[in-house]
């Protein structure tokens, strides 16, 4: 291994968003020598963009709230697809994680009684989201970042992990390159925690940043882990639609939480026709589909969206509670949201599916690998409720960090490497420099985004999905030949080439999982199977993807059965 | 200003290269309505210069990654609309200064993370009751809006011209310290650090940091000057010293 | 440590800025120089004709004329407001740019020094005494208001003249300049960590904070008003212009 820079740790965490940071903090607090590796600079991860808040049944505003209600909301919001145990742990532990964050220095908005303030959000029975204006994610990541660095976690910034290293069936480290120099680096570890976030960049209209290239999903799958629920891709109902440069940028659900109204071009509050009880605060899958339908049926705005209007509220209140939305529209679209409505439409936002884990420890199905946050699956089922992501990051980040630290302790010695695997990966990663083809990774990226948006998007049909699946093999070939210019120093074109390898693999998984599920449920809508198979077969199985001999395998596994006392909780009020 | 029409041709003069071989390269693009500078840079990257190095993440002014100097002004590229700048001339885009250059539009900002480590973290009293009110933290929340774009560090002449990196923490970290010092639950005292290590008195309050802050944090008036005043309480104020001696309070 | 990107012009006034960045520092330099010259000439050299009728030039307020003092009485007063302004957080930033080119303007290269000491060494440490000069400035504000009120009474008769209006406006602007001071903002409440524990101080701090946002404007307006008041009173005292007023007796030069 002499030719590569090598670092040795008990636990390495890949990804430095909320989940990765929380995992690293826990692992290091348990005495494991811990490193955090991330593609961007520290503090720039996607968590920073989370706006609305963190769901936790603190009952500071609505005294009737408790974990049981939060659990029930999550189960129902996930359309019964979620893992009950994860949902239970999440509901029970979120309040503690929120309070812990406060003790680490997070400054949440306050109630008049001097407690953490909470706001309403789609699908939540009570006012439940602890928040800081509309920049809750920033508060969370900065708090965790400062906690982490002062606790002595080593952070390796701008380092892309390209493959997990395995030996004798166990994950033993990771192989990557420094973005700045293009030089390779090896991390030896007794346990690896995946916290790499989502897959959004394979779609054309997305709220996700360039980092969301399905790395964690792809690396884990290639290392032998299983991915579940990958057909469930959340389209957030409210993304900006105009001007073109900002299409897809998120408009926080907090706008609706604070009283924003959705109207079509005829001025109708159209949610009346889709979910008269919850109206604008219905779940994201419902609202997104409603908007899609309004536009499709000709009641959309000039740029193909609908109106979201908060201007009936006091201007000062809007600026105080939604400051970044105010500036976002003012600066980027010349719209003053205190006087005018926003033009919005669905944008790809989140992947519910991900690495299959043990709820308590975050352990994946491969020894030595752990996962938490968006790249793990099971917690949100068929649809994620707003605010449940930030709490998910903390609850399962902590658990995965603990799981990894314990695994590292119990599996003491570092094990060897498969040198051939490293050599092979290095060659694969460097191959684009030798190509003389005319197309670049950028060209292919745009092509993939169109393919996914048009065929594996918000409304799906078997034919469209088959079209996409049929294209992937040739696409892969084309990608192998894509051309990269320049040196290895901070070369985004080259970086994208490997990101594309990961995206293509996971795009295929998403398409095949979507083709497999012959019903409509939550975020997965099949125009050829429009009904939800309530109480039927499809409610009892989760999709499960594997990867063997260079091929994606797609199947179904039985959904874990909820114990009677929890089921009673859900049914009692459903 | 007039609205950019789709198809309008704009020239971008971008700093390219690394080490000593630096040059400005002109790229011609057809802009779209509503474009920001980052749209143009990413378009150039995708169609003309695939190895053009640039940092960006959220593209919505929330992460502070795409800091650069556009026509000599420190800006977030994702927030700088073509409508708001003169596009009849080539638009000059340079990386941020004050830090070692890496390549093209990327600078090495690691120094900032080293400074941050030296700041005493949030230190509440043991078993403190975390009941506090909005009026207690309005001030602190302003500082916590910081997205660490480091534009203030870039423009601050103490770093940019005097290169006092070893003796001066820079506006970003005065903002951070202010958020800690003014937190009603915090018990640590960072005045010694501010004076001796962070060099708060090197600042000669030219307010350049405040002018470039994309989060509109009043860095000078609300963070740096109040911190200076707190250090002055300790260091230059005999009255306060006397009061402290008599009352025995810190 | 740092290796700034070097391309194109370096050294003094190097910048990529395309706007007229030099206008503001040039204006500041011009106005401050003019004011400095004028106040020296007026207060130090022109030792007569600064009080006419009920109007006393603000340079001389309150009028102190001890026998042992051989120079202009203005000097006994002026050190305080000038010191207050010289150590003011707003003016410092402005004149470090205009006179010290440190820097000439934001993102424009000026004076550079790897051993730059800022305000950590004498004489610049004096800047940190701003809060004590504030005390004198506040005391002067009281005298200026007394002077302004007195300017409505001449020869035992209440009335009003253009001079009284100018002196009142001047007293108000100078008061607002003091009330918006950064040091005052610190003293009245900024130094506290727990606002909810000290609600009155918080309320005062809120007020001062609001004024403080316009400290720059108060600084310039009050600078101009002092100069205007002094020029006006001297012109009236010299009989170059006459003061429109309601009094029956013509204004008499007192000092």
Quick check: is A7 catalytic? Answer: no
Chain-chain contact of A142 with B64 (C-beta, under 8 angstroms): no
pLDDT higher at C9 or A11: A11
Q: State whether B33 and B146 are in the same domain.
A: no
Range in A524-533, B66-75, B171-180, C62-71 the model is least confident about: C62-71
Asked whether residue C3 is assigned to any structural domain, the reply reads no
Note whether A358 and A83 are within 8 A (CB): no
Interface probe for A, chosen from B44, B49, B62 (most Cβ of A below 10 Å), is B62
The pLDDT, as a whole number, for residue C9 is: 53
The pLDDT, as a whole number, for residue B156 is: 97
Note whether A305 and A242 are within 8 A (CB): yes
Distance from the Cα of B133 to chain A's closest Cα (Å) equals 4
In three-state secondary structure terms, A392 is helix
Chain-chain contact of A40 with B50 (C-beta, under 8 angstroms): no
Chain-chain contact of B57 with A110 (C-beta, under 8 angstroms): no
Q: How many domains does chain B have?
A: 2
Taking 60 as the threshold, does the pLDDT of residue A1 lie above it?
Answer: no
Q: Quick one: average pLDDT of A48-58?
A: 94
- A484 vs B: CB within 8 A: yes
Q: State whether B16 and B66 are in the same domain.
A: yes
How far is it, in rounded angstroms, from Cα C180 to Cα C141? 13
The pLDDT, as a whole number, for residue B50 is: 95
Asked whether residue B236 is assigned to any structural domain, the reply reads yes
Q: State whether B145 and B121 are in the same domain.
A: yes
The residue to which tokens 């069936």 are assigned:
A169
B8 contacts in A (CB within 8 Å)?
none
ipTM of model: 0.95
Q: State whether B119 and B218 are in the same domain.
A: yes
Distance from the Cα of C148 to chain B's closest Cα (Å) equals 32
Chain-chain contact of B205 with C4 (C-beta, under 8 angstroms): no
Q: State whether B219 and B185 are in the same domain.
A: yes
- CA closest to B99 among chain C residues: C2
Q: Quick one: average pLDDT of C131-141?
A: 96
- A49 vs B: CB within 8 A: yes
Asked whether residue C249 is assigned to any structural domain, the reply reads no
Q: What is the DSSP letter of C29?
A: H
Note whether C66 and C126 are within 8 A (CB): no
B39 contacts in A (CB within 8 Å)?
245
Taking only the tens place, the pLDDT of each residue in A10-29 is: 999 999 999 999 999 999 99
Q: Quick one: average pLDDT of A522-532?
A: 96
Asked whether residue C111 is assigned to any structural domain, the reply reads yes
**Cβ under 8 Å to A: B residues 160-199:** 179-180, 183, 186
Q: State whether B40 and B127 are in the same domain.
A: no
Q: Quick one: average pLDDT of A247-260?
A: 92
Q: State whether B45 and B138 are in the same domain.
A: no
Identify the domain containing residue C128 by its residue range.
Answer: 23-237
How far is it, in rounded angstroms, from Cα C254 to Cα A340? 64
Beta bridge pairs of residue A6: A186
Indicate the residue of A135, A246, A324 with minimum beta-carbon distance to B34: A246
The pLDDT, as a whole number, for residue A574 is: 52
> Domain boundary at B78, B107, B136, which?
B107
Q: How confident is the model at residue B250 (pLDDT cuts 50, 70, 90)?
A: low
In three-state secondary structure terms, B43 is helix
Q: State whether B125 and B196 are in the same domain.
A: yes
Q: What is the DSSP letter of A559?
A: P
- B166 vs C: CB within 8 A: yes
Q: How many domains does chain C have?
A: 1
- B22 vs C: CB within 8 A: yes
Taking 50 as the threshold, does the pLDDT of residue C3 lie above it?
Answer: no
Q: At B234, which CATH number?
A: 1.10.1060.10
Taking only the tens place, the pLDDT of each residue in B196-214 is: 999 999 999 999 999 999 9
Range in A104-108, B103-107, C113-117 the model is least confident about: C113-117
Chain-chain contact of A492 with B35 (C-beta, under 8 angstroms): no
Q: At B16, which CATH number?
A: 3.10.20.30
Neighbours of A535 (CB within 10 A): 9
Taking only the tens place, the pLDDT of each residue in C183-207 is: 999 999 999 999 999 999 999 999 9
Taking only the tens place, the pLDDT of each residue in B22-38 is: 999 999 999 998 899 99
Taking 60 as the threshold, does the pLDDT of residue C1 lie above it?
Answer: no
Closest listed residue to residue B58, CA positions, set B147, B146, B144, B141:
B147
Quick check: is A236 catalytic? Answer: yes
Neighbours of B123 (CB within 10 A): 15
Cα-trace Rg, chain B: 21
> Domain boundary at B107, B131, B152, which?
B107
Which phi-psi region, left, alpha or beta, contains residue A79 (left: φ > 0; alpha: ψ -120 to 50)? left
Q: How confident is the model at residue C33 (pLDDT cuts 50, 70, 90)?
A: very high
Taking 70 as the threshold, does the pLDDT of residue B223 lie above it?
Answer: yes
Indicate the residue of B46, B61, B116 with minimum beta-carbon distance to A442: B46
| Measured distance between the N- and C-terminal CA atoms of chain B, rounded to whole angstroms | 55
Q: What mean pLDDT value characterizes chain C?
A: 92
Domains along the sequence of chain A with CATH:
237-346 (3.90.700.10), 429-558 (1.20.58.100)
Q: Quick one: average pLDDT of A103-123?
A: 96
Q: State whether B13 and B64 are in the same domain.
A: yes
The pLDDT, as a whole number, for residue A88 is: 98
Indicate the residue of C96, C106, C202 with minimum beta-carbon distance to B155: C106
The pLDDT, as a whole number, for residue A156 is: 98
Identify the domain containing residue B90 by its residue range.
Answer: 9-107
Asked whether residue C7 is assigned to any structural domain, the reply reads no
Q: State whether B27 and B124 are in the same domain.
A: no
**Cβ under 8 Å to C: B residues 43-72:** 69, 71-72
Please give, one letter per residue, the 3-state secondary structure of A440-459: CHHHHHHHHHHHHHHHCCCC
Taking only the tens place, the pLDDT of each residue in B136-148 is: 999 999 999 999 9
Chain-chain contact of B79 with A331 (C-beta, under 8 angstroms): yes
- B216 vs C: CB within 8 A: no
Closest listed residue to residue C15, CA positions, set B73, B214, B205:
B73
Q: State whether B77 and B18 are in the same domain.
A: yes
Taking only the tens place, the pLDDT of each residue in C79-109 is: 999 999 999 999 999 999 999 999 999 999 9
> Domain boundary at B107, B142, B161, which?
B107
Asked whether residue C209 is assigned to any structural domain, the reply reads yes
Indicate the residue of B36, B65, B121 with minimum beta-carbon distance to A44: B65
Chain-chain contact of A484 with B113 (C-beta, under 8 angstroms): no
Q: How confident is the model at residue C2 (pLDDT cuts 50, 70, 90)?
A: very low
Taking only the tens place, the pLDDT of each residue in A467-516 is: 999 999 999 999 988 889 999 999 999 999 999 999 999 999 999 999 99
Q: How confident is the model at residue C5 (pLDDT cuts 50, 70, 90)?
A: low
Distance from the Cα of B241 to chain A's closest Cα (Å) equals 30
Burial of A266 (0-12, 13-18, 19+ CB in 10 A): exposed
Taking only the tens place, the pLDDT of each residue in A426-460 is: 999 999 998 888 899 999 999 999 999 999 999 99
């Amino acid at each position: 291994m002499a030719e590569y820079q090598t670092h040795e740790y008990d636990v390495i965490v890949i990804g430095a968003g909320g989940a990765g940071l929380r995992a690293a903090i826990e692992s290091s607090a348990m005495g494991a020598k811990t490193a955090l590796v991330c593609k961007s600079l520290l503090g720039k991860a996607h968590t920073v963009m989370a706006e609305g808040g963190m769901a936790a049944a603190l009952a500071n505003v609505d005294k009737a709230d408790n974990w049981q209600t939060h659990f029930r909301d999550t189960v129902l919001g996930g359309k019964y697809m979620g893992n009950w145990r994860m949902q239970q742990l999440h509901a029970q532990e979120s309040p503690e994680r929120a309070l812990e964050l406060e003790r680490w220095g997070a400054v949440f908005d306050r109630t008049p009684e001097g407690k953490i303030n909470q706001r309403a959000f789609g699908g939540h029975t009570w006012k439940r989201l602890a928040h800081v204006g509309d920049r809750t994610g920033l508060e969370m990541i900065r708090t965790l970042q400062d906690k982490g660095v002062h606790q002595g976690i080593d952070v390796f910034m701008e380092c892309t992990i390209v493959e997990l290293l395995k030996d004798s069936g166990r994950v033993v480290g990771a192989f990557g390159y420094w973005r700045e120099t293009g030089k390779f680096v090896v991390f030896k570890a007794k346990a690896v925690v995946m916290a790499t976030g989502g897959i959004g960049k394979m779609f054309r209209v997305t709220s996700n940043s360039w980092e969301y290239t399905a790395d964690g999903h792809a690396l884990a799958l290639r290392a032998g882990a299983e991915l579940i629920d990958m057909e469930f891709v959340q389209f957030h109902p409210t993304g900006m639609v105009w001007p073109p440069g900002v299409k897809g940028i998120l408009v926080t659900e907090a706008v609706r939480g604070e009283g924003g109204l959705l109207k079509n071009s005829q001025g109708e509050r159209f949610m009346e026709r889709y979910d008269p009880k919850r109206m604008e605060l219905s779940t994201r899958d419902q609202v997104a589909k409603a908007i899609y339908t309004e536009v499709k049926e000709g009641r959309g705005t000039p740029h193909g969206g609908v109106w979201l209007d908060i201007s009936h509220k006091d201007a000062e209140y809007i600026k105080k509670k939604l400051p970044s939305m105010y500036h976002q529209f003012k600066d980027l679209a010349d719209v003053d949201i205190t006087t005018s409505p926003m033009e919005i439409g669905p944008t790809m936002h989140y992947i519910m599916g991900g690495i299959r884990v043990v709820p308590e420890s975050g352990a994946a199905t491969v020894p030595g690998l752990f996962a938490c946050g968006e790249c793990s699956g099971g917690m949100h089922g068929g649809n994620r409720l707003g605010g449940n992501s930030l709490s998910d990051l903390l609850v399962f980040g902590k658990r995965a960090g603990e799981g990894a630290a314990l695994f590292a302790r119990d599996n003491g010695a570092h094990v060897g490497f498969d040198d051939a695997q490293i050599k092979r990966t290095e060659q694969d990663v460097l191959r684009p420099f030798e190509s003389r083809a005319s197309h670049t990774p950028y060209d292919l990226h745009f092509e993939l985004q169109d393919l996914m948006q048009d065929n594996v998007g918000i409304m799906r049909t078997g034919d469209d999905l088959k079209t996409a699946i049929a294209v992937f093999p040739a696409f892969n070939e084309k990608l192998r030949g894509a051309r990269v210019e320049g040196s290895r120093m901070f070369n985004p074109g080259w970086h994208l080439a490997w990101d594309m390898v990961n995206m293509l693999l996971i795009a295929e998984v998403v398409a095949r999982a979507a083709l497999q599920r012959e019903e409509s449920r939550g975020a997965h809508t099949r125009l050829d199977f429009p009904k939800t198979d309530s109480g039927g077969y499809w409610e009892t199985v989760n999709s499960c993807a594997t990867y063997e001999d260079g091929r994606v395998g797609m199947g179904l596994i039985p959904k874990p059965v909820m114990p009677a006392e929890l089921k009673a909780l859900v049914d009692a009020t459903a | 200003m007039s609205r950019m029409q789709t198809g309008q041709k704009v020239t971008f003069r971008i700093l390219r290269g690394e080490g000593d071989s630096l040059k400005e390269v002109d790229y011609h693009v057809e802009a779209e309505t509503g474009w920001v500078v980052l749209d143009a840079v990413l378009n150039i990257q995708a169609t003309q210069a695939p190895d053009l190095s640039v940092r960006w993440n959220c593209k919505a002014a929330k992460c502070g990654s795409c800091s650069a100097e556009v026509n000599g002004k420190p800006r977030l590229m994702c927030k700088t609309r073509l409508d708001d700048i003169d596009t009849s001339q080539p638009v000059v885009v340079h990386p941020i200064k004050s830090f070692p250059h890496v390549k093209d539009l990327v600078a090495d900002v690691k120094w900032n993370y080293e400074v941050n480590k030296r700041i005493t973290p949030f230190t509440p009293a043991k078993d403190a009751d975390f009941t506090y009110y909005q009026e207690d933290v309005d001030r602190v929340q302003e500082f916590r809006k910081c997205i660490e774009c480091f534009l203030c560090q870039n423009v601050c002449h103490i770093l940019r011209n005097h290169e006092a990196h070893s003796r001066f923490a820079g506006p970003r970290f005065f903002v951070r310290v202010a958020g800690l010092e003014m937190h009603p639950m915090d018990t640590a005292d960072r005045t010694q650090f501010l004076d001796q290590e962070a060099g708060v008195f090197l600042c000669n309050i030219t307010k350049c940091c405040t002018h470039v802050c994309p989060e509109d944090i009043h860095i000078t008036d609300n963070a740096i000057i109040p911190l200076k005043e707190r250090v002055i309480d300790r260091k230059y104020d005999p009255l306060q010293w006397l009061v402290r001696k008599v009352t025995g309070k810190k | 440590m740092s290796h700034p990107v070097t391309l194109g012009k370096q050294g003094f006034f190097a910048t990529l800025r395309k706007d007229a960045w030099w206008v503001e520092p040039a204006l500041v330099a011009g106005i401050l120089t003019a004011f400095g010259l004028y106040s020296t000439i007026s207060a130090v050299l022109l030792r007569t004709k600064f009080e006419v009728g009920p109007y006393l030039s603000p340079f001389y307020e309150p009028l102190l004329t001890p026998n042992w003092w051989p120079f202009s009485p203005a000097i006994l007063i002026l050190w305080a407001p000038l010191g207050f302004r010289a150590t003011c957080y707003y003016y410092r930033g402005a004149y470090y740019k205009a006179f010290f080119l440190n820097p000439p303007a934001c993102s424009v290269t000026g004076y550079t020094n790897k051993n730059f000491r800022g305000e950590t060494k004498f004489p610049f440490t004096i800047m940190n005494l701003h809060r004590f000069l504030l005390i004198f400035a506040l005391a002067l504000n009281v005298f200026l208001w007394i002077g302004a009120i007195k300017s409505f009474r001449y020869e035992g008769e209440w009335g009003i003249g253009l001079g009284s209006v100018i002196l009142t406006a001047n007293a108000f602007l100078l008061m607002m300049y003091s009330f918006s001071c950064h040091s005052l903002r610190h003293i009245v409440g900024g130094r506290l960590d727990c606002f909810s524990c000290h609600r009155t101080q918080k309320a005062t701090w809120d007020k001062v904070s609001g004024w403080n946002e316009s400290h720059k404007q108060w600084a310039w307006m009050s600078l101009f008003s002092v100069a205007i008041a002094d020029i006006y009173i001297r012109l009236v005292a010299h009989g170059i212009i006459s003061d429109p007023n309601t009094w029956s007796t013509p204004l008499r030069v007192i000092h």
